[in-house]
Structure 1
Amino acid sequence: MQTILEHKQQSYTKEEQCVIDEVSSTYKLYDFVAAIICMRNAFNLDEIKEYILGTTRPKSYKGLKDIEKAISLITESISLNEKIRIVGDYDVDGVTSTYVLLTVFEALNYPHISHYLPVREKDGYGLNPDIVANAHADGVSLLITVDNGISAVEAVASAKELGMKVIVTDHHELPNELPIADAIINPHQVDCDYPYKSLAGVGIAYKLGQALISHFKLKPAPALVARIQGLVALGTVCDVAPLVGENRHMVKTGLGALNKGALPAATMINSRISVGTLGFQIGPRLNACGRLESAETALEYLRTTDPNTLYPFKQRLDSLNKERQDEEMDSIARVNAKVEAMTTLPDIIIDIDEMAHESVVGLVAGRIKEKYYRPTVVFSRTIHGTYKGSGRSIEEYDMFQSFKPFLHLLDGGGGHPMACGLKASTVEQIHAFAKAVNEASSLTEHDKTPKIYVDKCIYNAYEYDFNELEKQLRLFLPTGAGNSAPTLLIKDASLKFNTKYAKNHRISEVVANFGPKSIASTLWNDDTLPEAGDYTGDITLQVSETGWQIKSIYLAI
């Protein structure tokens, strides 16, 4: 699919230019690097300083609505020696959220704490009446949800009928009806004064943990603090929360802790921890547990510290991840065949793959979305005969808000601007929903075309010291969702290609020469590139944790 190159803002007001000049002079930056940093921080000098120096101050947990209620409820339960149960989720965010609170209760030396991670096929997503009933049968008095619960109206009502107390901590968008819990900690609540709304579930669990540590005047061991920091980074990155403001600070801190061995389970997978290794190596292995087996396996792995136990445990995760990859590829092939057979591609692709394992449909939706650059939902048939769907969106389409008016056509759903989870009882419901959301779509052809946003076009590479430029662009790290690596467009580079094939992948090895600089990079599965030979063309570049990376190539005709 053809990609559009779009150039970002290059003109500024007089006041903005003054800020850029000051930042460039103060921090010895190229003007365009200073300009990018200024734009990302709304030309606010205090925020710019925090961004460059990495000194963003975390917000006080006290701004979170109901946080004091939650502390009172937990304090009361502890004083009465009541049983407390944490109910998490089966993805990495849910598992790390659970582990963060377990670590805090470990610091409290409170023995009457337990947890439950839903089994995807048996329990579905989040707190449900059966989980509540089992907790009640176990004598649990207080339930604390992490990374779920904001849509659990029936389950919370069931808990209240049984005389239980419920604290909901969640970061998902608010549904039309909220559960009647004793406390709800979710920054999206309209009367919540917390200024940063983009925390992942683990970030909110961390805030509750901070409040407990402060309330009980604890001084946790440095190893426990480092563990929590590492878990927050892992969950935040794997939930694709925006790496801006407080999230960026917490991820940066957590990466430091992880690279010092805070979580031996993480460094067993890769000894050098970065956003990339969290998102593409560690996260998928942990998620494979919740997809195909049980999230308890992921939690147990994260809690393991003995290297002799960790290695065979890692092999088990590798095996589960391979099984997940095979399931995913099979489903992608089936869904893609149906999409290719469509005479007209709809704005929003919605498909049912009856043969798919329900755990992989979100991944499949993501791959189909990438190929066609359309918001995509893929449903699978559950063991109960109902349907579960998972969606992935494009930047131009707020999936949650766009779907919200039509959720009454299904059995329910929720999510974020970029992703959703849906439930249906019948195929007819899904077809009616697909028809409604497509009729309501206002996506344009421009919206449905993938874009690379160029921060700086460089015509003469000799004007720059690329070693110094790399150093300056590293100021943006850690990069990820909401804080992408700046993209440079280099004009008229000399390119040498060599292509290899391995395991159904086309691997293009490229050496680019421009001005005084030579960069070698690898691009995967781009069949628009030549097999071999020397060419001239434009390239886009970014700096990652490992150095310069060629992101795309546009050959001269």
Structure 2
Amino acid sequence: GYKVLVSLDFGTTNLAELELARSYKMKTVVIDHHYVGEIENNADIFINPWDDESVFGGGRLCTSGLTYIILDSYKPLRQRQAAFPSDELLALATLGTICDVVPLEGLNRCLAKKGLLALAQSKSPGIRALREICDIEDVLSYDVAFRIGPAINAAGRMKTGDLAFKLLTATNSEMAYKIAGQLIDLNEERKSEVLRILETAETTVFKKDELPDGIVVWAEEFSIGVVGIVAQRLVERFRKPAAVFGKTLDGAFGGSLRTVEGVSIINILNELRPILIRGGGHAMAGGCLVRPEDMEEFARAFDAKCKEKIGTKIFEPAFDADLEIRLDDISVELVQGLRALEPFGAANPVPRFLLRNLKIGDIKRLRDEHLFLTVSNGELVYPAVLWRLRNHEHIQIGDTVDTTCTPYINKQGKVQLSVEGIRKKT
């Protein structure tokens, strides 16, 4: 039988499962980056950047980064990994580092900076197939976070993670292209499922007498694979911590939790542990299992804990910028110059500019997911997108607005504005 159990990206709080493995005389290895707290993990080898004894202090590295460093540093393993040279491992580590939204500072930034180049030069049939289907030339952090990453993750969210594994370990282009195509299709299904659940969740919230400080929505038919995305959308929509649950195969409700800056999910889960079957995570996100008969109690307790921690704070949509510029300052050259600051992500956000006194010339839905509009200073007209926002009740055609935004180059090679904040002039 098996002699070693290796747990990646979970295991920090799975003490019962680890003890079961030990009862079968198995050695256990846990490589994880989720919050440790007061837990004394019982694995034979426990590697977690939150652990006080870890050389990777500060809780910065994600599991992909940790695994890369271990594989690249341990010579006996390096000699046995001819199928995955160091640069290919770095490319995979970068996918995880950017998609897991860890702070791109220090070692993470070094990994991501070099890893984006490794992705662009990767000989992996799977990565090359995804890049070609998605029409990606130079690989930027945006491409990883919003194109390559979601396609790979769609396998586990909508079907089975085996499909992503087969793509990344494919040895010939024909098979890689076939699997990559399937992942792109699954990602489109994922988007539709997110919209369906989001509409139900928003309707549930709007039916409440008042907006709770901690939003909790659950239904048996909610797909477990996408509840985390829906929770994040609810946070963006209502500026409150949110938990979304679907029914698991064993009958419990499995939830994903997301939050606003300053309200720690892992602290709340630790305080609610008597209600949970189990739970874990970190400051900004977490997951838990709750018995069906305890969901109402969990919803009340989660709201109460959020209310206690939020107090009188009001979380308004951000309207800050790095620099005020004019519309005629924007150009392809400006966008290309900003790439010198890559990689962008957590702790190193893409530069944001303030543009004043623009007139809205057009507003329409884009694929029923986003809001498309045009803005003008009277001479120049630029297209702009409010991502993941299907309507905006405070703006209309003809309004004069100030906006915070980031310029980028669209698929047609033209400059377009990604709008973060928009305010009507009064």
Taking structure 2 as the reference length, the TM-score comes to 0.86
Gaps of 5+ in 2: none
Candidates 233, 238, 242, aligned match of 1:367: 233
Shift of 1:337: 1.2
Q: Distance in 1 between matches of 2:324 and 2:312?
A: 25
Q: How does 1:197-236 map to 2 (within 5 A)?
A: 197-213=59-75, 218=79, 224-236=85-97
Q: Which residue, out of 531, 537, 540, partners 2:401? A: 537
How far apart in 1 are the matches of 2:228 and 2:61?
21
1:144 aligns with 2:10: no
Taking the aligned partners of 1:406 and 1:369, their CA distance within structure 2 comes to 20
Single out whichever of 235-244 and 537-546 deviates more from structure 2. 537-546
Q: Structure 1 CA distance, aligned partners of 2:8 and 2:125? A: 24
Match for 2:13: what amino acid? Answer: S
Is 1:252 aligned to 2:252, yes or no?
no
Aligned partners of 1:477, 1:506: CA distance in 2, in Å?
25
1:86-128 deviations in whole A, cap 9, x for unaligned? xxxxxxxxxxxxxxxxxxxxxxxxxxxxxxxxxxxxxxxxxxx
- How far off is 1:331 after superposition? 1.6
2:417 counterpart of 1:549: yes
Q: Deviations over 1:250-270 (max 9, x none)?
A: 111111111123433233233
Q: Matched residue of 1:143: which SS?
A: strand
Once residues 367 and 33 of structure 2 are traced to their aligned partners in structure 1, the CA distance between those partners, rounded to angstroms, is: 39
- The residue type paired with residue 268 of structure 2 is S
- Could you say which residue in structure 2 is the equivalent of 1:290? 156
Equivalent in the alignment of 1:442: 309
Name 1:344's counterpart in structure 2. 210
Could you tell me which amino acid in structure 2 is paired with residue 521 of structure 1?
Answer: A
Select which of 370, 386, 396 maps to 1:523. Answer: 386
Question: How many angstroms apart in 2 are the aligned matches of 1:417 and 1:447?
Answer: 19
Higher relative contact order (CA 8 A, sep 6+): 1
Q: Distance in 1 between matches of 2:83 and 2:160?
A: 30
1:334 positional shift: 1.7
2:199 aligned with 1:333: yes
Which 10-residue stretch deviates more, 230-239 or 547-556? 547-556
Change (3 A) 1:258 1:145: same
**Following the alignment from structure 1 to structure 2, what is the Cα–Cα distance between the partners of residues 140 and 354?**
36
CA distance in 2, matches of 1:274, 1:359: 26
Per-residue CA deviation, residues 222-271 of structure 1 (Å, 9 max, x unaligned), is: 97122111101111111111222211211111111111234332332333
Deviation of the 1:283 alpha carbon: 1.8
Identity of aligned residues (%): 27
Residue type matched to 1:491 in 2? R
Structure 1's 178 and 452: CA in aligned 2 closer, same or farther, altered over 3 A?
A: farther
In the alignment, structure 1 segments of 5+ residues that lack a partner are 1-138
Counterpart in the other structure of 1:477 = 342
CA offsets 1:312-353 (integer angstroms, 9 cap, x no match):
222221232233233322222222111000001111101211
Structure 2 residue matching 1:442: 3-state secondary structure:
helix
Match of 2:36 among 151, 174, 198: 174
Cα distance in 2 between the residues matched to 1:229 and 1:545 = 27
* Residues 1:518 and 1:253: Cα distance change in structure 2 (over 3 Å): farther
2:224 to 353, 358, 372: 358
Name 1:452's counterpart in structure 2: 319
| Residue 510 of structure 1 pairs with residue 378 of structure 2 | no
Alpha carbons of structure 1 residues 303 and 217: separation in structure 2 relative to 1, 3 Å? closer
Aligned residues: 412
* Per-residue deviation, residues 424-468 of structure 1 (Å, max 9, x unmatched): 1233x232233223323231454332223322345x789x79777
Q: Per-residue displacement from partner, 1:284-305 (whole Å, max 9, x unpaired)?
A: 2222211232211110011124
Query: Secondary structure of the residue that 2:163 maps to in structure 1?
Result: helix
Mapped to 2, the partners of 1:530 and 1:449 lie a distance apart of: 17
Does structure 1 retain, via aligned residues, the 8 Å contact 2:91–2:122?
Answer: no
In the alignment, the residues of structure 2 paired with residue 501 and residue 436 of structure 1 have an alpha-carbon distance, to the nearest angstrom, of 37
Given the superposition, is the C-alpha separation of residues 226 and 328 from structure 1 closer, same or farther in structure 2, using an over 3 Å criterion? same
- State the alpha-carbon separation in 2 of the partners of residues 217 and 384 from structure 1: 40
Question: Which string of whole-angstrom CA distances, capped at 9 and with x for unpartnered residues, describes residues 192-222 of structure 1?
Answer: 3434521111011112112313x67749769
2:165 is paired with a residue whose SS is helix
RMSD of aligned residue pairs (Cα, Å): 2.9
String of CA shifts for 1:362-421, please: whole Å, max 9, x gaps.
122122221111110011122322111111111131111233111122111000111111
- Structure 2: which amino acid aligns with 1:166? T
Q: Secondary structure of 2:199's partner?
A: helix
Q: Is the 8 A contact 1:461 1:514 kept in 2?
A: no
Q: 1:196 to 1:177 in 2, by over 3 A?
A: closer
In 1, Cα distance between equivalents of 2:97 and 2:418? 26
Query: Match for 1:315 among 181, 192, 210?
Result: 181
Alpha-carbon distance in structure 1 between the residues aligned to 2:363 and 2:324: 28
Matched to 2:186, the amino acid is L
Superposed CA deviations along residues 153-212 of structure 1, whole A, max 9, x for unmatched, are 111111222211111111110154333111111111123343452111101111211231
Do 1:485 and 1:543's aligned partners in 2 also have CA atoms closer than 8 Å?
no
Report what 2:170 is aligned to.
304
